């Protein structure tokens, strides 16, 4: 049992009762500045490389889990509709893991909702599984430390380990085969860099991902000729980013963010078959950021994206008006939303779905 569940603690676990128990958690998505893409051990969800991210305010998933002895099967509702196929299977597998480790035998009802688009490259799986990890473990009477909760969350989605914490977060890949040294940790708190802004650029008609990231990344590991070089470059790039963030040094950080994003995109596009998550509008946004930096003769903004068409553009508060004006004139940009680094996952008392973030114009 200990090997099967790696570093997840087995001590201090409440024994199951036959009464129904429920808990609700909220968790935010995060945007990776250094991407995680590929696992060295799929069974233990151990990544090839460490990663670094910013937890985002305003966006969130809210998930309620209720273990109920009267249920004959798990009931999963995502964004107001019954989940089917892969999404439901992923939740049920995660619940099985919690049941086996905590000793709670009951089936569960799960209700989860996002206040931002799902399966479009905005890390809905990270926020969703971070919230599920918190709600399911609490409902099962399984009291986990934040580090252990991050280790549990990665079994649903690797990036979910980072959404447990707020601010700037590193997910350490570790080297041990049992995964005991693989966990997320906060590096800097949400208020570390008050001037930093993330302009989330929503691309009109952004396609929904046809291939799950968990499957796509392993295609890259097997087939991209650029992947080994990327793994060699990441440790130095990650440390350089942490130093730049610590010093609040945008001219040093912004080129590193774009270099890392370009490296991620390169390994995706050199996979066989090629993985191309961007639209023409997405690429025009990247070009506009490069143009802004050239015209300013210094880095005033930086782009990054995950496995989807929407783009994150980092800038400073003093450059925000001009950057947003440039982005607004890109054909195909639906809207933008300005966010800051925000808090991590937390329990909540209610079960109402989260409100959508206010539209930015």
pLDDT at 6: 35
pLDDT at 123: 64
Q: Is the pLDDT of residue 120 over 90?
A: no
Q: Out of 6-20, 130-144, 192-206, 345-359, which region has the weakest mean confidence (pLDDT)?
A: 6-20
Q: Is the pLDDT of residue 359 over 50?
A: no
Are 21-193 and 196-339 the same fold in CATH? no
Residues 6+ apart with CB under 8 A from 125: 119, 156, 157, 159, 160, 213
Burial class (CB in 10 A: 0-12, 13-18, 19+), 264: buried
Beta carbons of 301 and 314 less than 8 angstroms apart: yes
Structure tokens belonging to residue 353 = 């779905």
Average pLDDT (154-158) is 96
Q: What is the dihedral of CA 199, 299, 269, 84, to 10 degrees?
A: -20
Structure confidence by residue, pLDDT tens digits, 265-318: 999 999 999 999 999 999 999 999 999 999 999 999 999 999 999 999 999 999
Nearest CA to 200 among 308, 297, 295?
308
Domain 21-193 fold is: Ribosomal Protein S5; domain 2 (3.30.230)
Q: Is the pLDDT of residue 3 over 60?
A: no
Domain parsing of the chain, residue ranges: 21-193, 196-339
H/E stretch holding 34 reads strand 30-34
Quick one: pLDDT band at residue 345, thresholds 50, 70, 90? very high
Q: Give the bridge partners for 170, in sequence order.
A: 52, 185
pLDDT at 152: 98
The strands making up 196-203's β-sheet, listed across from edge to edge, are 301-304, 311-316, 196-203, 333-339
pLDDT at 124: 83
Q: Is the pLDDT of residue 132 over 60?
A: yes
Structure tokens belonging to residue 28 = 């935010």
pLDDT at 311: 96
Parallel, antiparallel, or unpaired for β 75-78 and 46-47? unpaired
Average pLDDT (188-210) is 92
Q: Out of 171-185, 189-203, 207-221, 244-258, which region has the weakest mean confidence (pLDDT)?
A: 207-221
Report the alpha-carbon distance of residue 46 to residue 177 in Å, rounded: 9
Q: Is the pLDDT of residue 68 over 60?
A: yes
Average model confidence (pLDDT) across the chain: 90
pLDDT at 116: 77
Beta carbons of 158 and 47 less than 8 angstroms apart: yes
**Angle value at C-alpha 327, between 323 and 331, nearest 5 degrees:** 165
Q: Is the pLDDT of residue 121 over 80?
A: no
Quick one: pLDDT band at residue 12, thresholds 50, 70, 90? very low
pLDDT at 16: 42
Report the alpha-carbon distance of residue 157 to residue 130 in Å, rounded: 8
CA distances from 66 to 23, 75, 150, 224 (A): 7, 10, 21, 43
pLDDT at 210: 72
Average pLDDT (86-104) is 96
Domain 196-339 fold is: Alpha-Beta Plaits (3.30.70)
Q: What percent of the chain has pLDDT over 90?
A: 84
In residues, how long is the chain?
361
pLDDT at 206: 84
Quick one: pLDDT band at residue 114, thresholds 50, 70, 90? very high
Average pLDDT (242-260) is 98
Quick one: pLDDT band at residue 7, thresholds 50, 70, 90? very low
């Amino acid at each position: 049992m200990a090997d099967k569940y790696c570093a997840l603690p087995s001590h201090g676990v409440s024994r199951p009762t036959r009464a129904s128990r429920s808990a609700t958690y909220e968790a935010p998505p995060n945007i990776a500045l250094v991407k995680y893409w590929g696992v060295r051990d799929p069974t233990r969800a151990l990544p090839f490389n460490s990663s670094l991210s910013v937890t985002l305010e305003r966006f969130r998933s809210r998930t309620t889990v209720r273990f109920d002895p009267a249920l004959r099967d798990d009931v999963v509702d995502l964004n107001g509709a019954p989940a089917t196929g892969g999404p439901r299977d992923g939740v049920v597998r995660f619940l099985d893991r919690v049941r086996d480790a905590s000793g709670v035998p009951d089936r569960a009802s799960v209700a989860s909702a996002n206040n931002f688009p799902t399966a479009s490259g905005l890390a809905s799986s990270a926020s969703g599984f971070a919230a599920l990890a918190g709600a399911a473990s609490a409902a099962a009477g399984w009291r986990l430390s934040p580090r252990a909760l991050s280790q549990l969350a990665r079994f649903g989605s690797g990036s979910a380990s980072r959404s447990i914490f707020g601010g700037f977060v590193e997910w350490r890949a570790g080297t041990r085969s049992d995964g005991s040294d693989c966990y997320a940790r906060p590096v800097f708190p949400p208020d570390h860099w008050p001037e930093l802004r993330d302009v989330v650029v929503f691309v009109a008609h952004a396609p929904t991902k046809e291939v799950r990231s968990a499957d796509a990344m392993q295609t890259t590991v097997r087939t991209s000729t650029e992947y080994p070089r990327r793994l060699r470059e990441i440790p130095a790039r990650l440390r350089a980013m942490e130093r730049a963030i610590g010093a609040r040094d945008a001219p040093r950080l912004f080129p590193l963010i774009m270099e890392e994003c370009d490296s991620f995109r390169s390994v995706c596009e050199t996979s066989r078959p090629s993985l191309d998550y961007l639209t023409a509008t997405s690429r025009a946004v990247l070009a506009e950021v490069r143009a802004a930096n050239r015209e300013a003769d210094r880095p005033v903004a930086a782009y990054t994206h995950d496995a989807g068409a929407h783009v994150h553009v980092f800038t400073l508060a003093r450059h925000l008006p001009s950057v947003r004006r440039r982005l607004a004139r890109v054909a195909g940009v639906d809207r933008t939303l300005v966010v800051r680094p925000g808090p991590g996952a937390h329990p909540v008392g209610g079960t109402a779905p989260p409100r959508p973030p206010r539209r930015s114009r």
